[in-house]
Structure 1
């Protein structure tokens, strides 16, 4: 098979969005960006700091909610 190229397969960790409860303190101001309560983590799907209550809401509701005024 001269001239045939094969793609190397590698691990695909990190391709699926998920929530995390730990983030470097420089990126977490401590507040949920939807309701203003203390944030419990960062939601990779909507790219926002969220509390547990707001994170439990359906994804469409989280996307439609505006960022609170600081």
Structure 2
């Protein structure tokens, strides 16, 4: 899915289900992908981990994704 000039990402069914059950908007995901507070590389899996604050006070969102060309697959 093309989101903006800055971020293209695709949600797996697992990610879609988790966002729905936790009432998290895809705009929050995009904001954290564009402006993470912390970013790590999991050297065992090769996945990238981004962490950022949610719009819900006191809550943080942890996003794990893999890159395919310019597309981030969550």
User: Which TM class, normalised by the smaller chain length?
Assistant: under 0.3
Q: Which has the higher contact order (CA 8 A, sep 6+)?
A: 2
Q: Could you tell me the TM-score, scaled by structure 1's length?
A: 0.23
User: Which one has a bigger Cα radius of gyration?
Assistant: 1
Structure ranking higher in helix proportion: 2
- Quick check: which one's strand share is greater? 2
